[in-house]
Amino acid sequence: MNNRELQAYLRPILRWWWLIILSALLAAASAFVFVRLRPPVYISSGTVMVGTAIQERNPDTQQLSLTQGLAQTYVKIAQRPSIKESTKQALGMDWLPEYAVRIVPDSQLIEINVTDVDAQRAYAVATELINQLILLSPGGQERQQREVFIQEQLRKLEQGLRETEDEINRKQNDLSSALSARQIRQIEEQIGALQAKQTTLQGTYVGLLANTERGSTNTINVLDSPVVPLEPVNDRWYLLVLVAGI
């Protein structure tokens, strides 16, 4: 390319440079006004775990692989129209904000992210989507209610075990200060009865613990519950303005 051809190419640019700059400024200014006028966007996120293999001391590789496959299935189910309709009906809504469901790579964890201009609505939708997945798992709501009942009974048994242990310790202290043979015999009988009660409580506790969902493969457990987002997401508005200018 000779100088004459180069000048022919540069002549329009040199002549209309002010129009090029003005166009870039107008585009950048329009983008700036657009990003500033649009409402802030919030994201509410929640994470669930498929199965309970990760809680085992020696998790089985085959079980981990199975739960990862189940997690992928649940991700696809969460995006089906039936789940969307169930969520809308549960919340009394005619539409749902944009949401994304993805599996954390190489794990049985599922993340649900709901994006909306209303922080409370994003939280409500994320919570209900998780609830709909739980209802689809084996047992659904019945399993949840059973788990709540068992956990409540376990708490009561734990309290009873602590109280019985404290009572045994008190009786043993009384035994050390007893003076007569009759008192010693009575306290020993009371300690024996308390120890028998303790053994019964321990057996009941172990039995209830075995009936929980620990070790189940096709179950969904909430790992991180959604929360109401307090701050909007950082949308990097300056990048949009820069791209518009360019």
How many Å apart are CA 233 and CA 69, to the nearest integer? 32
- The end-to-end CA distance of the chain, in Å, is 27
Beta strands in 22-142 (DSSP E): 42-50, 98-103, 109-116
Span 141-174, pLDDT tens digits:
555 566 667 777 778 888 888 888 888 888 888 7
The pLDDT of residue 6 is 67
Nearest to 136 by CA among 53, 62, 76: 76
Integer Cα distance of 100 and 42 in angstroms:
13
Please report the pLDDT score of residue 140 as a whole number: 55
Please list the pLDDT of the chain residue by residue as tens digits (246 residues).
Answer: 566 766 677 777 777 777 777 787 787 777 777 766 677 889 999 998 887 666 556 666 777 778 888 888 889 989 999 999 999 999 899 999 999 999 988 888 999 999 998 899 999 999 999 988 888 876 555 555 666 677 777 788 888 888 888 888 888 887 777 777 777 788 788 888 888 888 888 887 777 666 555 545 567 778 888 988 888 776 666 667 678 777
What are the residue ranges of helices labelled H in 79-219? Answer: 81-91, 119-136, 140-177, 181-210
CA distances from 20 to 6, 10, 28, 39 (A): 19, 13, 12, 31
Q: Is the dihedral of CA 175, 181, 187, 192 positive or negative?
A: positive
Q: Which residues have C-beta within 8 Å of that of residue 243, sequence separation ≥ 6?
A: 31
Cα Dmax for the chain: 125
Tokens of 7: 């000048």
Burial class (CB in 10 A: 0-12, 13-18, 19+), 148: exposed
b/e sequence 165-198, b meaning 16+ C-beta within 10 Å? eeebeebeeeeeeeeeeeeeeebeebbeebeeeb
Give the global pTM: 0.55
